[in-house]
Structure 1
Amino acid sequence: MSQEDARWPGIKRTSLDELPPDKAAQLRRTHNIVFSYLGGLRTINEATARDPTYRSSHLMRFLGQDLIEAAVAIEMLATEGVQGVIKRELRFIIEASAKLASVEQEGYARPAKDKLEDFRERLQSHKFSVQREVDLYFFAPDVQVEFVQEVGRLYGTTSSFVHWTADRIQRRMNSVEAGRVAGEDTVADIAELNDLLERALAASLVLVIHSVPKSATGDWMVGLDGETVDWHFTQSRFVAAIDAAFDYKHERQIRLGALQAERTSRIRF
């Protein structure tokens, strides 16, 4: 049965219990991806907040709320089959994460209010280059190239849902004629969205991680026994590459070869 939201009388949300099992399974995957992303943001935030200057200086304290809102909205919209809006939210998440990394890398110690003035032009621009503006210091040169290309593909795909163009309108016309309107997405549609969602949110996390000190990442990504943290996004080849940057840690040396093999075996996207 659809569930009425007490905050919005007369407005009902779809319950997964009323959907076909295969469709519900894909939406549960959506839920897992989104909440793994939210967990990552929370952990990065908490690790960085140990710095006493965090509250007054790091934009993550403020921008993080926008990333959280966008991610929560994505999970809700996916249940209702509103995919175009989700892709617009992903474009925002990618752009915001890239700008966060760029500004924090260049002006980490400055008060947040000063960063808004010092980097106003950069923050307002939609012509943003990860390759030029972000130091991807966790990555080897070849992985840097791969990541920049990945962000470019993701940004291009999601940007096509922000503005109306002739091609965009034609695609919408085709989907409507085929009966694929809001709320009528197929299992394949949701699976394809989930694949995009994983990649886009992984890219966001990589950029957010590059906005905080290296030590903050190493503190939570490497367990006390040297194990890689048990987390959905360690299946990302780019998050795995960040994890590999901490293989020098003493607690990993005893079984480093096994840890590296396990990390490689987890990579899925």
Structure 2
Amino acid sequence: MSRPDLTPPPPSGKRLSLLNLPLDVVTLEQTLDRLGDWMFRAPRAPHTVVTLNPEIIVQARTHPEFVDAVQEADLVTADGVGIVWAARQLHRQEVPRAPGYDIVRGLMERHGPELRVFFLGAKPGVAEQAAQNAVRDFGVQVAGVHHGYFDPAEDQRVADLVGASRAHLVLTAMGAGRQEVFNQYWRQVLAAPVLIGCGGVIDVLAGTADLAPAWTRKLGVEFIWRVGLDRKRWNRAPRLVQFVRLVQVERRRLARQG
């Protein structure tokens, strides 16, 4: 139930501006409906999807190409509770979450054997395992596989490889910033109807990273759970603090404007 002092989610289609980045107010089900339509619509046309989280907002402030990639994305969903909180603070708007893992899993569950997926990212060998598991669990077709550890000089070679695969869905998991910029810059060459920057989703599908417990995901605090247990993520905690400060400063600015 939404709080009485907040505006409930409007029908799919409204786009907010959150610290100069777009955010589409869409539920997970609306997201899956829209992406399913894009994937199988004729003629084929590429669409980029960004799952927005606090880290993306903080990192993008010093990376103009990253900002452009998010602003030009066809769909930007709220990945985590931090984005939901920021929308409440700055817009008094209730925004539903559509996290990257839930989007990817939902598309595979819905479309199964008719879905051609290209697994692009993670360390060598991980994408192959993710593809095998996805075939086993969802019956999807593997359009192609490539690790995410390649230099920018190889971008066109990899983009050409993806484009030749005729994938419906490309899972690009090369880390925030790199994956979004790659998808946006090469979208016409990649040519897949849905290109989604999905961070650690390939690792989760491969079984090399654990999905956060259901209770943390239901409450939207899975990132806090991950940071607390994984030393490699501790350096990301300051970005959360910076994000909170950015939201507070923006809220005060909007209050002064009346």
Given the two structures, how large is their TM-score scaled by the length of structure 2? 0.25
Determine which structure has the larger strand proportion and give its number.
Answer: 2
Q: Report the structure, 1 or 2, having the larger helix content.
A: 1
